[in-house]
Structure 1
Amino acid sequence: MQKKKVIRETIEAIVVALILALTIRTFVIQAFKIPSSSMEPTLLIGDHILVNKFIYGIPVPFTDIKLVPFTKPERWDVVVFKFPVDKSKDYIKRVVAIEGETIEIKDKKILINGKDVADPYGVHRDPDIFTGEARHRDNFGPYTVPDNSIFVMGDNRDSSYDSRFWGIVKLEEIRGKAFIIYWSWNSNEHWMRFDRLTKWIR
């Protein structure tokens, strides 16, 4: 009898733990891994991050509905979202313009509502100015961001596939705000990046 009780209590504890983990992942925090260099130097390939899923609204499972939003995305927030072109994929970028703002890029410089904006996070590694089909990388707009939408770019400005090429992100497509690196692995050196552990994302 005692053995059956122990087994039952163990199973109950496992079930409760699984339910708790699923609840946290669905409503509170979710982990993601950085697969590309588009957010360098802020985020490196192999960084593992945590995302606050409820700050922009509590997600309703299996829908794009969000309840009780605490705040809306602000400029320079780093957000994870469903890629608008293929919603089975998650992307991470930085918010550069919010709803109602007019964004323009002139020779790599960002203008919001016609005024130069200091770009504290963007990095340009290619001095060339693109023309032709790829001109949107360095010269874009002007474009006014629609309601309930954001315009995003990667910090690695010259090597990022973002709103300059495929358009805006709707607020309902946002999964959450990235806030901390909890693990980082350098696959080239096969070693952990100790200096990046528990680093806050800004």
Structure 2
Amino acid sequence: MSHDSMKQFRDTIEAIVVALLLAFVIRAFIVQAFKIPSGSMLDTLQIGDHLLVTKFAYDVRLPSDIWLDTTDGKVLYKTGDPERGDIIVFKYPMDESKDFIKRVIGLPGDTVELRDKVVYINGEPLDEPYVRRTDARILPVRDNFGPIVVPDGEYFMLGDNREGSHDSRWWGTVKRQKIVGKALIIYWSWGSLTDIRFDRIGTMFN
């Protein structure tokens, strides 16, 4: 192999290594892509929406696979706290191999209650213009729940498709360290190869 060929080979390998390192850093610390597989967040999120999620919205942490002392990764520093109304991705408490996406409803210390489908936070009804209603029936747990006090360091999560969401009403609150990140933007959306939803692409979340 000639000197020029050897140099070109080394340059190619270096470029590949740098690209892989950048991809790892971006996924571990900055953003991660997620696809919406279910209708639990309709109409805010559609099945087939593809999101970018910011991983530094609340905590900057070492990835769990390189920090062996904890399954959640070591927090380097906090950048903020989840707020009511945030749409976040988190580890499903019943099976942490799965990621769920829901809306933050109850903050640490809040008293949360559902009465005839209406959410009350600390005794006051919560304004929820994003909620989708599909069933007029009043059912226990789904539509009448609590009251409960959200533990310190945990969050009460609900889906916007309130009658079609499996959420904190059934499996409890989410620990802060189980939060993966906050929804940032829809970068792609389709129902099928012939149903690309261009009007949804670029939708940002506060």
TM over 0.5: yes
Aligned match for 2:60, one of 58, 61, 80: 58
Consecutive aligned runs of 4 or more in structure 1 exceeding 4 Å deviation: none
Q: Which of residues 174, 192, 200 in structure 2 aligns to 1:196?
A: 200
2:131 maps to 1:127: no
Does residue 166 of structure 2 align to residue 161 of structure 1?
yes
Pairwise CA distance, 1:117: 1.4
How far residue 29 of structure 1 moved from its aligned partner, in angstroms, is 0.4
**TM-score, length of structure 2 as denominator length:** 0.93
Partner of 1:144: 149
Q: For residue 31 of structure 1, what is the aligned residue in structure 2?
A: 33
Match of 1:7 in 2: 9
The letter for the 1-side match of 2:90 is: F
In structure 1, what residue type is equivalent to 2:160?
D
Residue 49 of structure 1 is aligned with which of 45, 48, 51?
51
Give the aligned partner of residue 106 of structure 2: 97
Residue 82 of structure 1 aligns with an amino acid whose one-letter code is: K
Q: Which of 72, 76, 80 is the matching residue for 2:89?
A: 80
For 2:75 and 2:15, how far apart are their aligned partners in 1?
30
The alpha carbon displacement at 1:190 in A equals 3.3
Aligned-CA RMSD value: 1.0
Once residues 66 and 108 of structure 1 are traced to their aligned partners in structure 2, the CA distance between those partners, rounded to angstroms, is 37
| Sequence identity (%) | 53
Structure 2 unaligned runs (5+)? 65-70
Instruction: State the shift of 1:55 in Å.
Output: 1.3
- Tell me, in whole angstroms, the C-alpha distance in 2 between the residues paired with 1:165 and 1:201: 26
> Per-residue deviation at 1:59?
2.1
Q: Give the secondary-structure state (helix, strand or coil) at the position aligned to 2:141.
A: helix
Q: What is the TM-score of this pair, normalised by structure 1? A: 0.95
Offset at 1:69? 1.1
Return the offset for 1:166. 0.5
SS at match of 1:30: strand
Residues 1:177 and 2:182 aligned together: yes
Q: CA deviation at 1:201?
A: 2.6
Does the aligned pair in 2 maintain the 1:42–1:201 contact within 8 Å?
no
The alignment partner of 2:50 has SS state of strand
Q: Which amino acid aligns with 1:126?
A: D
Write the distance in 1 (CA, Å) between the matches of 2:205 and 2:135.
25
- Asked if the contact 2:61/2:77 (under 8 Å) is kept, the reply is no
Partner SS for 1:79: strand
Q: What stretches of structure 1 of length at least 5 have no aligned partner?
A: none
How many residues are treated as equivalent by the alignment?
197
SS of 1:199's equivalent in the other structure is coil
How far 1:67 sits from its partner (Å)? Answer: 2.4
- Write the distance in 2 (CA, Å) between the matches of 1:77 and 1:67: 22
Contact 2:133 2:162 in 1 (8 A): yes
2: distance between equivalents of 1:67 and 1:175?
Answer: 15
Give the AA of the match of 2:156.
F
The structure whose residues are more often helix, as a share, is 1
Query: In structure 2, what residue type is equivalent to 1:30?
Result: Q
